[in-house]
Structure 1
């Protein structure tokens, strides 16, 4: 047998009513809060406070008292003053005047003249000279002058040297090395010609040919003309 509920005891049927009642209460509370009046609080008058009395103070007047210095008694006076005669003679020093009279002759020491010794610069190698010697007809920069100098010396040797001499001396066929050295002095002249060759006659011929080099413009080191050493090897072909 099933138990049936009474429809009036079901609370879900009254949920809408509860919601309306709650809404009405909320609106009422909100309205009451808006309509409530508030008033500013009032305080009793405290009156005016007089602060000047606390700031005024009596400052005592003080005076500076300086200490009194004790007076020193004067020195006692001597009983008698004796006068003593000065028996010693005082030597007076005479200061002589250092000014000279125009009429007096003044001795002057002889001034020795010192000759300036000219700085002598030793001979410089052709490879490191600042200003190389200039072969007649050469122009250009330092590198160009060096190259031109060597070419002119080789050309001079090839033109002046007797190429048939090595064959006449009966030397063995082949290449023969000849080393030549000389100096261009401060005046541009060719001096101190030296040679090393496979035969004495070839050496004499080489020295004779190199002495025929023309006069050149001398080399300069630190702006002064100097002697310049130059060396060059040659190759002779003996058939």
Structure 2
């Protein structure tokens, strides 16, 4: 059994996508980031950066004590290695193919962690949540988010998924960060490959199950945040 410490955000969705695809037994442990659950001492004991998601695997492959993992990219890598799945190669692939595909998947996983997620997140912050309008910041992060979408679109040219023919953790990491802000949507019209890839993943039954979990955990997702919630999310030191 895996405990998933989760709230319905793009980073949270990454892990529920994997767990649903792999069919692993898991239990949701809600972390209401608007109420400050991420700052509770018992959560900081295994997720010291006071961010979500995190997991505790009560049945690790070594048969030993439970293993906790924080940071969504690290969690995806842990789960992929635990199951031997979604690493960019098909079952039965030879050692050379496995080695090279793991490299490709890792490249694009870290691209998402270092680029697409943070830059799109800043786009959302300055367009949706910031208490004052800062044109430079709004333009800066819009342009960077669009640049990254262009990078992804070129990568997907002639490929079904980011790493090639196989759905992988690189796709799971990136998919939730494609246009997550419905109030200020980015224009995806120029990115035909991204739109095709996005629709393909959205149609997967596991994707639909993962996003159904989100609605169960927080039926109010998408509603405007209160000023108190903003203070908790953006004002902590």
| TM-score, scaled to structure 1 | 0.21
Q: Which has the higher contact order (CA 8 A, sep 6+)?
A: 2
Structure 1 or 2: more helix by fraction: 2
| TM-score, scaled to structure 2 | 0.21
Structure 1 or 2: more strand by fraction: 1
- Greater gyration radius: 1
